[in-house]
Amino acid sequence: MSVRLREALREAVADVPAYPVHDRAVRTARRTRRRMAAAVAAVLVLVALVPLVGRGGGGQGSAPAGADGPTLPDRIGLPVLGALHATDRPRLGPASVIFSGQARGLTGLLDENGTIGIVGAEADRYRTYRVGYEAPAGEQVLLSPDGRRIAVPGGSSEHPRIDLVDLVDGVARHLPSVVPGSVMTEPAGWAPDGKSLVVRDTVPANPEGNAHANVLSLVRLDTGRAVRLLEAEQLPIFGNPVAFSADGSRLAWRVGDKVLIAGTDGQGISSFPLPPETGLAGKGAWLADGSLALVSRDPDSTRWRLRHVDPATGRDLGALELPAVTGVTTIRLLGWRPDGSALVVAYRPEPAAPARFDRPLEMDERTAYGHVRSIRVLALAPGAAAPASVLTAPDQVLAIDVADDVVRSGQVRDANPPWGVGGRFWWCTTLAALVLLGGVLARRVVTRARGPRG
C-alpha cells in the first residue's frame, strides 16, 4: 500500500463518527429488561384481578336497609363465560338460589342441559356445578335449608350415589345408595335441620331387569342410618315432592294420585286420594296450623290456587285467602314468609309447546323443560288482589330452588347479576400469558447461548 493511499484512508476514517458499541449495548439491555418487567407486571395485574372477577364481574347487589343474613335476589342472570365452579376458590359460602334450564351457560354439547347455576346468599356472586345431564333444580338437585350444600344425583348405574357439595369448604361428599341393587338414587327432600335427606331409589323388580320398583328412604347424613319409608312398583310420580313439617317430625309426599304422610320412623300416619288436577303444593306444603297445602287448577283455565286439607283425613278445608296465579302451567310452593305470604315458583308456558295447559295434564309434565319458557318467584300475600313478583329470570331458565332460610327471612335485595367474563377465563388467560412469557424468555436464553454468528 502506498503512503498516499494510507493517508487517504486515515482521513476518511477520521471523518466517520464513532459507533458507541458499549453504550448501545447497555441501552438495549435496559430496554429489554423494562419490556420484560412490563410483561410480568401485566401478568401480575391479571392474577390480581381474578378474585375480583370471580365475585361476579358486575358487582354485588345491595341488601335492603337493616337486612342481616340471607336475602333473595330480585332477579337472576346467566353464568358468564368462564364462571367459577362451586368448589373453586374463593369459596362462595351459603347460597340463596340454584337454577337450571336450557339458557346460555346452563347447557352445552355434551352435558345435556346439566349445568346448575348458584347464587350467593348475601351478594350476587355466581358459581356453576355440572351434573352432566338434565336434572332440574328443585326437583332432582336440591339446596339445603341453610343454603350451604347442594344434593346432586351422581355415580353410575353400577354404583349410584348422591353427591353433597359443600359451598362453604368446597368439599364434595359421596353418599352411596342405601338400597341394595339400586340402579339410580336421587335426592327427594331435605329435613329442616339439614341433618337428614330423603332419597329415592330405583331397583330392578325381576331378574330380566324389564320392570322396576321405587324405594323412598330417610337417611341420616352423620351416621348413614336409613329408615325405609315406602316401596312400591315404579310410578311416574313417586315421592315427589317431599314436604317436612316445621318440627321435622312428619313427612308428606305424593305417590301417583295419593298423598301419604308418615313419621320419621317410617310408620305410616295417613293417606288420602287427590282430586283431578290437584297435587301436593311443594316442599313448603305444611302450614303453621298443621294443615297441608295442595295446588289445584280451576276447570278449563290456567288459574291456579292454593287450598288446604286436613292431613289426617284429606278433608278439604277450602281455598286459602291468597291470590290465584293465572297464565302459567302450574305453581310450586317453596314456603312461607314472616308476613304470612306464600312464596311460589310460577312456570310460564312455552308458546310453541303442543300441550294445552287449560286441559288435564300430569303435574310432572307441566314443569317439563319443553313446556316451560321461563319461571318467576311470586309472593301470594293474604288478602292481596294479585301476586307480587319477587324474582325474575331470563327466558329458558326453567327450574329453581330457594333455600328455606332465605324464604323465612322475607328479605329481597336489589340484584346486580354478573357480566363480562368469570374467574376461570382469567385463570386460562393468565396461564396462557405465563406460557407465552416463558417461551419468549427461553428463546432469548437460547439465542444468547449461541452467541453472534459470523
In a domain, 399, yes or no: yes
The pLDDT value recorded for residue 111 is 73
pLDDT at residue 56, rounded to an integer = 44
Confidence band for 163, pLDDT divided at 50, 70 and 90: very high
- Produce one character per residue of 89-124: b if its CB has 16 or more CB atoms within 10 Å, e if not: eeebbbbbbbbbbbbebbbeeeeebbbbbbbbbbbb
- Rounded mean pLDDT, 188-192: 98
CA distance 269 to 281: 19
CA distance 338 to 256: 33
Residue 57 is predicted with a pLDDT of 43
Average of per-residue pLDDT across 162-176? 97
The span from the CA of 254 to the CA of 286, in Å, is 14
Reference 151, options 106, 181, 185, 126; nearest CA is 185
Q: Residues 30, 67: one domain?
A: no
> Is 79 a member of any domain?
yes
Helix (H, G, I), strand (E, B) or coil at 79: coil
Q: Can you give the pLDDT at residue 42?
A: 54
Q: What is the mean pLDDT of residues 281-298?
A: 98
* 454 found inside a domain: yes
Q: Give the pLDDT score at 208.
A: 86
pLDDT of 270 over the 80 cut: yes
Written as nine digits, the cell of 316 is 278439604
User: Are both 442 and 306 inside the same structural domain?
Assistant: no
In a domain, 78, yes or no: yes
The pTM is what?
0.85
The reply to whether 339 and 388 lie within a common domain is: yes
Segment 384-396 mean pLDDT: 98
- For the chain, what percent of residues have pLDDT higher than 90? 74
At residue 108, the pLDDT reads: 74
* pLDDT score of 417: 96
For residue 387, pLDDT over 90 is answered with yes
109 or 360: which carries more pLDDT confidence? Answer: 360
Average pLDDT over residues 91-112: 92
Whether the CB-CB separation of 365 and 353 falls below 8 Å is answered with: no
| Pair 147, 49 in one domain | no
Mean pLDDT of 280-305: 97
Task: Summarize the confidence of residues 191-197 as an average pLDDT.
Answer: 98
For residue 76, the enclosing domain spans 57-421
Cβ neighbors of 312 (< 8 A, separation 6 or more) are 269, 270
Specify whether 121 is located in the same domain as 269: yes
pLDDT in tens, 26-80: 565 556 555 555 555 554 454 444 444 444 444 455 556 556 789 999 999 999 9
Looking at the structure, do residues 204 and 331 belong to the same domain, yes or no?
yes
| Interval 89-117 mean pLDDT | 92
Q: Examine the domain organization and report whether 38 and 81 are in the same domain.
A: no
The pLDDT, as a whole number, for residue 51 is: 44
Portion of the chain with pLDDT greater than 70, in percent:
79
Q: How many CA atoms lie within 13 A of 293 on its CB side?
A: 30
Do 36 and 68 reside in the same domain of the chain? no
Residue 357: inside a domain: yes
- 349 and 443 together in one domain: no
Helix or strand (DSSP H, E) at 54:
helix 21-54
The CATH number assigned to the domain holding 221 equals 2.120.10.30
Cα 185 to Cα 200: distance, rounded to the nearest angstrom: 6
Tell me how many domains the chain contains: 2
Is residue 333 domain-shared with residue 267, that is, in the same domain?
yes
Query: Is 11 among the domain residues?
Result: no
Longest dimension (CA), the chain: 131
Q: What is the pLDDT of residues 307-330, one digit of tens each?
A: 999 999 999 999 999 999 999 999
Q: Is the pLDDT of residue 333 over 90?
A: yes
pLDDT top residue among 186 and 19: 186
pLDDT of residue 346 exceeding 70, the answer is yes
Q: How far apart are the first and last CA of the chain?
A: 28
Q: Are residue 250 and residue 210 in the same domain, yes or no? A: yes
Flag whether 277 is in a domain: yes
Domain-located, residue 9: no
Q: Give the chain's length.
A: 454
Given a cut of 50, is residue 418 above it in pLDDT?
yes
- Specify whether the CB–CB gap between 128 and 117 falls below 8 A: yes
Q: Which of 19-28, 139-148, 215-224, 350-359 has the lowest mean pLDDT?
A: 19-28
> Do 281 and 221 reside in the same domain of the chain?
yes
